[in-house]
Amino acid sequence: MNPLREHALLLTRRHFFGKAGLGLTALWALLNESTAAADSGNPATGGLPGLPHFKPKARRVIYLFQSGAPSQIDLFDHKPKLHDLRGKDLPDSVRKGQRLTGMTSTQEHFPLAPSLFRFARHGKCGAWVSELLPHTAKVVDELCFIKSLHTEAINHDPAITFFQTGAQLAGRPSMGAWLSYGLGSENRDLPAFVALVSQGSGNPNDQPLYDRLWGSGFLPSKYQGVKFRSAGDPVLFLSNPPGLGAGVRRRFLDDLARLNEMRLKEFGDPEIATRIEQYEMAYRMQTSVPELTDVSKEPASTFELYGSDARKPGTFAANCLLARRLAERGVRFIQLFHRGWDQHVKLPTSIRGQCRDTDQASAALVLDLKQRGLLNDTLIVWGGEFGRTVYCQGTLTANDYGRDHHPRCFTIWLAGGGIKGGICHGGTDDFSYNITDKPVHVHDLHATLLHCLGIDHTRLTYKFQGRHYRLTDVHGNVVKELLA
């Protein structure tokens, strides 16, 4: 088979017009992208024209995702009446026939398990916080607790996917990809969207985290998150190969770009344009990323604030410090995934370790951003994919219990840009099983986060396979009571 002859045979009349159409489409896309950058007021951002839709309160997001689902009953949702009901079965009038997971559906009894941990009110707002989170307790006046969040998924993978993409099935763009697409980047030398992963003190075989959780779905792949690693190059293949100097690499990339541009003109595939941009971004990151990840010049007071783990790459504390440094440099969406919260058994022991991993650094990030004047325009989100049941999974003992998945109600907290601090929104019944006041759906949360960034969630869309998609699908309402 002769490749040149095969290529020549493709040049039929139909193929000619098809190629011409694709070329015009590609040209239009490139022109439109340039126009979008110009219209946004900052040619470096690459965002869509007309965005933000209105003046934003927040310019960036740091999402501290607690993978595995922290127990709201043991951390934030204080239920003192449960202590008198310890070991008794959850009343049918409370459960109301709601579905159970396969892990507890065969249990004959659902014994109530009040938290073993003490709660106290903190701050001027008087928010209830468990003894497990002493550092978070000190910053409650900066936080907005949503105690009435609920979701549709009852198992981890669809629930985590739902939180990241607004859909339980894989394939949709993640929230960070939507923001990268809509608002672009404030720093041309760093990605608009960065993902960081840490493993907590919990089970190392906890729920896996897939790259698609920070993926771009059907958006062009240039909008996907860039995962930073804790060992070796922070980003794969960032360093030059042995024997390849900076000058040679620059000439190599220039020649490669010319070849890719030829293919782009021929086929009009937007992924080729993405590849060109990614090669250039990787070249610029060779300088920007090592400087970003080198924390050796941070003062001792920084590590006192975040804790000693902040010196250990790959820990949650180190990632929180890195998140602050990314925020300082204009990265749009910074997503931390911390595994280990899936506590079906031995919860009292496991949750202590997880809180030691995350409490000090989470609070430190709030304080650090505030003292640097960055909290006003940085939106922080802390929470997992759903909550935990009031009843015990397995055997309830005097000092031990486990909790199953509970999507009906759970707690997260927000802080910073556009969010009212020192408030608790919504409420649950005496069993932390059903919402009694001001329910907030995941779509409502997404709509509210986008609103803080100056985006009307109904207008940030992308047409794919004949339909206009958005992060909130066809749902979602801005929760105005949360807004500053």
The interaxial angle of helices 316-328 and 347-371, nearest 10 deg, is: 20
Using alpha carbons, list the distances in angstroms from residue 101 to 161, 246, 249, 369. 18, 55, 54, 40
Closest C-alpha among 43, 46, 103 to residue 273: 46
pLDDT at position 229 is 86
pLDDT at position 266 is 78
Could you give the CA distance from residue 379 to residue 370 in angstroms, rounded to a whole number?
Answer: 11
Closest C-alpha among 187, 297, 288 to residue 235: 288
Could you give the CA distance from residue 192 to residue 181 in angstroms, rounded to a whole number?
Answer: 9
Residue indicated by tokens 């998150």: 225
Is the CB of residue 361 less than 8 Å from the CB of residue 309? yes
Q: SS3 for 88?
A: coil
Using alpha carbons, list the distances in angstroms from residue 326 to 181, 293, 339, 359, 445. 18, 9, 21, 20, 24
pTM: 0.87
**In sequence order, which residues have a C-beta less than 8 Å from that of residue 9 and are 6 or more positions away?**
none
Could you give the CA distance from residue 166 to residue 160 in angstroms, rounded to a whole number?
Answer: 10
Per-residue tens of pLDDT for the chain, all 484 residues = 444 554 455 455 445 555 555 444 444 444 444 434 333 334 446 899 999 999 999 999 999 999 999 999 999 999 999 999 999 999 999 999 999 999 999 999 999 999 999 999 999 999 999 999 999 999 999 999 999 999 999 999 999 999 999 999 999 999 999 999 999 999 989 999 999 999 988 777 777 899 999 999 999 999 999 999 888 778 776 776 777 777 776 776 777 768 878 887 777 777 787 777 766 666 677 778 888 899 999 999 999 999 999 999 999 999 999 999 999 999 999 999 999 999 999 999 999 999 999 999 999 999 999 999 999 999 999 999 999 999 999 999 999 999 999 999 999 999 999 999 999 999 999 999 999 999 999 999 999 999 999 999 999 999 999 999 999 999 999 999 999 9
pLDDT at position 39 is 38
